[in-house]
Amino acid sequence: MTFDLRLDHLGLATTNLESARRAYERLGFTLSTRSMHAGSTEAGGSVVPWGSGNHCAMFENGYFELLGLVDANLPSNVKQMVARYEGLHIVALECASADETYKLALSAGVAAKEPITLERDASFGIDDSTTRRAAFRNVYLDPVEYPEGRFILIEHRTPDVLWQRHLLEHANGAVGLEAVYLVSANVTDTVRRFTALFGQPRQVGDAQQFVLPRGSLWVASEKTMRAAAPVYESAPVHSVAAASIRVKSLPILERLLNENSVRFSRGTTFCGTKPCVWVGSAEAEHAVLQFIDS
């Protein structure tokens, strides 16, 4: 019994979506026009407006979502996230069928909730001349059993609406979502719970890596994460600790960051063999970003 799950997108939850938009454009990302969410609040329920909106940085592989609470009077998953902390929360894994994946999850003893439908209107075309409906079918992992983040097994029903060609070019050279870093106070327990979904991890130094058909998921202690990413300094390390993004060229990325007065640090990946660039939470709206050369 195996799951075919691929790293799809990571989501940053914020109370100030406009501030996040400005920050990520300064980092060199091309962002989609703001899109407001709608969805069902329970399995089988009707789709209603939600109080959250987003901007997305779309890559050839995966994407990065800026998710903001816009109207606190309407339903939104963002409320619980920002009450915990502002920063990276969502770890979405693509599946071919939410309904079949849910059945598989139950058979494997994975605590998951029944699939629900999520929709949003998205601007379409290079000049935003039209609007199309983006549709998803989501299975959420139980947050009690998987408290490290907001884990979603996502079925894309309208991928053409999201992956528009003009959105894939970024001034910083971003081409793909590479990995997500999770920090746990009990690495052994976290790894045990995720093994049912991802299979056995491999030990890399003091960290554990789940290699997926696309992308990877790392689990490490706070001590290991702080040692790897010098940008933390005195900043808190969240449970969804960092996002790793592939770029065409680290020198081109560094030149853009310098031009935009963005502070960054050079480092190496967990395996210690590849150079990377780290950007801290003060520059990336409560998130920590790692950039590696493709």
Query: What is the per-residue pLDDT across 223-273, written as a single tens digit (0 to 9) for each?
Result: 999 999 989 888 899 999 999 999 999 999 999 999 999 999 999 887 667
27 in a structural domain: yes
> Are 19 and 285 a contacting pair, CB within 8 Å?
yes
Structural domain of 46: 6-167
29 in a structural domain: yes
- Conformation bin of residue 237: beta by default, left when phi > 0, alpha when psi is -120 to 50: beta
Strand-pairing partners, residue 150, are 90
Q: What is the pLDDT of residues 194-215, one digit of tens each?
A: 999 999 999 998 999 999 999 9
In this prediction, residue 77 has a pLDDT band, given cuts at 50, 70 and 90, of confident
Specify whether 152 is located in the same domain as 38. Answer: yes
Specify whether 29 is located in the same domain as 137. Answer: yes
Specify whether 128 is located in the same domain as 185. Answer: no
Strand-pairing partners, residue 276, are 267, 292
Task: Kindly report the backbone phi and psi dihedral angles of residue 194, in degrees, each rounded to the nearest multiple of 5, phi listed first.
Answer: -85, -15
**Which residue has 């709608």 as its token pair?**
38
- Distance, in Å, from the CA atom of 64 to the CA atom of 221, rounded to the nearest integer, reads 24
Specify whether 159 is located in the same domain as 13. Answer: yes
Specify whether 158 is located in the same domain as 231. Answer: no
Strands 216-220 and 174-183: parallel
Closest C-alpha among 175, 245, 180, 168 to residue 212: 180
85 in a structural domain: yes
1 in a structural domain: no
Specify whether 84 is located in the same domain as 196. Answer: no
Q: Of 86-90, 127-131, 148-152, 193-197, which gets the smallest average pLDDT? A: 127-131
pLDDT computed for residue 271 by the predictor: 67
The CATH number assigned to the domain holding 185 equals 3.10.180.10
Cα first-last separation, the chain: 32
Specify whether 54 is located in the same domain as 86. Answer: yes
63 in a structural domain: yes
Total of domains in the chain: 2
CA dihedral 132, 138, 143, 149 (to 10 degrees): -50
pLDDT computed for residue 90 by the predictor: 97
Domain boundary among 113, 143, 167: 167
Specify whether 160 is located in the same domain as 178. Answer: no
Specify whether 10 is located in the same domain as 119. Answer: yes
Specify whether 32 is located in the same domain as 70. Answer: yes
45 in a structural domain: yes
- Distance, in Å, from the CA atom of 95 to the CA atom of 117, rounded to the nearest integer, reads 14
Q: Which two tokens stand for residue 272?
A: 């210690």
- Distance, in Å, from the CA atom of 234 to the CA atom of 267, rounded to the nearest integer, reads 18
The answer for residues whose C-beta is within 8 angstroms of residue 215's C-beta and 6 or more apart is 6, 7, 61, 62, 177, 178, 179, 180
pLDDT computed for residue 106 by the predictor: 94
Angle at 218 between CA 7 and CA 77, to 5 degrees: 55
Quick one: average pLDDT of 276-294?
A: 96
Domain boundary among 124, 151, 167: 167
Specify whether 223 is located in the same domain as 150. Answer: no
Quick one: average pLDDT of 39-43?
A: 71
Specify whether 82 is located in the same domain as 10. Answer: yes
103 in a structural domain: yes
The answer for residues whose C-beta is within 8 angstroms of residue 63's C-beta and 6 or more apart is 8, 9, 56, 57, 162, 177
Tell me: pLDDT of 133 over 80.
yes
List b or e across 140-172, with b for residues whose CB sees 16 or more CB atoms inside 10 angstroms.
bbeeeebebbbbbbbbbeeeebbbbeebeebeb
> Are 147 and 89 a contacting pair, CB within 8 Å?
no
28 in a structural domain: yes
pLDDT computed for residue 1 by the predictor: 54
DSSP state at residue 9 = E
Domain boundary among 138, 167, 196: 167
